[in-house]
Every structure is written in structure tokens, then in C-alpha cells.
Homo-oligomer: A and B are copies of this chain.
Amino acid sequence: MFSEIAQYFRTEALPHIWCPGCGIGTITAAIVRSIKTLQLDQNNVVIVSGIGCSSRMPGYLDFNTLHTTHGRALAFATGIKASRPELDVFVIMGDGDASAIGGNHFIHAARRNIDLTAIIINNSIYGMTGGQSSPMTPHDKRATTSPYGNLERPFQILDVAKAAGATYGARATAFHNQLLTKLIVNAYNNPGFSVVETISQCPVSYGRRNKFKTPADMLMWQKEHAVMIGQKEAVGEDFSIGEIFKSEAPEYTGEYAKLRQRLKGE
């Protein structure tokens, strides 16, 4: 029932602007269910986003919400968290937002291992601007700026996150939204920089151009190509879901707090 999570929504702002069948709405509900599961104080939650279809999410959610500039969500979030570490900060980004223009803030948030929960909504495309290829568009797929098929290779964004220093990485899909809820709970509980890549469907700007007839077809693709990590290797179009990596490292705001403490001692 929506009523069970309605308290976390700005219902007056609904219905949302996303296209029919767009996965972002489904993911929004899954995220909200994670926050509900975590029983976080609504006043203490901050949701930060960049620019893109995915990044319109915070506007519908009844927390402290910040819709920033394209690609910069993590840098704003870093300011929030560094200044007031007790806040629970979630960061919502599109694949383009996070990995194209926002790539640098992404690797640096990872390097600092700052305690943010980053959710990348990967619909393989720039949705908001109408379907240009993103750094996460699969090889050979069509986009308005890849009219002959994408020549480039996509990022394996969780590999990049890990190499850069993130301490938690997981993947789910709009279809596997219960898993998503669980992974976000775990990501939040990781005391460091956590990334949850969420495969979503963009029927309008990606699906139509890539032979998906309906939104349901795209969800079906997610269902069929997702492979639970540890159970089977992901080959071809398949991809792993579940917790991809987890490790421990000093967290930025904690280190800073220790420094302040140490200086007091001196």
C-alpha cells in the first residue's frame, strides 16, 4: 500500500513527471522502503541529487532535499556530511550524472570513503535530454548521439568505485526491488562510501531505440539477465546483482572528528 510509505512523500507533488513505465518511480518506492526499514528520523535524512530524470526524485520526497547541478551531487553531499556528520545522507544520481560529468566527484568521494549512500540509477542513457549515449550505455547500443551504435565501452562503475576506495558496492534492478531495498539498508549501514547501482528502464529514450516494445519487456530483460552474485558467473549481456564488494577503511568525517579531538588534547 502506498499509504504505508506516504508519510515520506510530498504527495501534493504527485503524480510525478516520469514517463509511463519509467523505472525511476519503482526505485523511488524501494528507496523509501529502505528508509522506513531503517527507521531513520525523517528530519535527519538528507537526499541529494544532481540533474536528470532520476535526480528529480528528491522533489517528491519529504526529507531535507537538495536538487543540485548536473554531476555535482556528491560534492554538495560532501559539504553537508563534512559539516554535519550526524545527518543521514543519501545521494541519487543518474548514470550520466554520476559517471559522465560527475565522475570526478564520484572517485573522490570513494577515495575519502566519506559516509554517504550513493544510489546510481542506471538506465543506460541520458533520459532527461532525450536519449544521448552515456558512459554506461552498453557497447553497440543506439542513442541519438550514437546513431550507428555506441563505439565506446561502458564503465563497470562498481569496479571503478572499488579501485577508487569505496568500501561497499552492490547492484540490483527496478525489477529486483526487494533486493534493492535490502541492499540500500546494508549500504546505509556500511560506515563509509557505499554505492548501489540500480538498473532501471527508460522506455522512452532508450527502450524505443533499442528494440524494446514495452516497459514490461525491459523489466523482463532485467529479470532474465540478472545473475545473483556467487551463484553463477555473469557472461554476455548478463550482469551480477547482490553485494559485489565490501571492505573496511577509515571514514573521512570520523578521521576529521579524531583530528579535532587530538588538537583539543594538545
What residues make up the interface of A, taking CB atoms closer than 8 Å to B? 100-101, 103-104, 107-108, 111-113, 135, 148, 151-156, 159-160, 162-165, 249-250, 252, 255-256, 259, 262-263
Specify which chain B residues have a CB less than 8 angstroms from the CB of A156 in the assembled complex: 163
Question: With A103-B108, A108-B103, A263-B148 known to touch, is A249 a contact of B135 (CB < 8 Å)?
Answer: no
Q: Which of B108, B152, B160 is the one whose CB lies under 8 Å from A164? A: B160
Asked whether, in the complex, the Cβ of A262 is within 8 Å of the Cβ of B148, the reply is yes
CA distance A156 to B160 in the complex (A): 11
Residues of B contacting A108 in the complex (Cβ-Cβ under 8 angstroms):
100, 103, 135
Query: A247 vs B162: C-alpha distance in the bound complex, in angstroms?
Result: 19
29 interchain pairs (CB within 8 A)? A100-B108, A101-B104, A103-B103, A103-B104, A103-B108, A104-B104, A104-B107, A107-B107, A107-B160, A111-B135, A111-B152, A111-B155, A112-B152, A112-B153, A148-B259, A148-B262, A151-B252, A151-B255, A152-B252, A152-B255, A153-B165, A155-B164, A156-B163, A160-B160, A160-B163, A160-B164, A162-B163, A163-B163, A163-B164
Q: How far is the CA of A111 from the CA of B106 in the complex (A)?
A: 15
A153, B104: Cβ atoms closer than 8 Å: no
User: Chain B contacts of A160 at CB under 8 A?
Assistant: 107, 160, 163-164
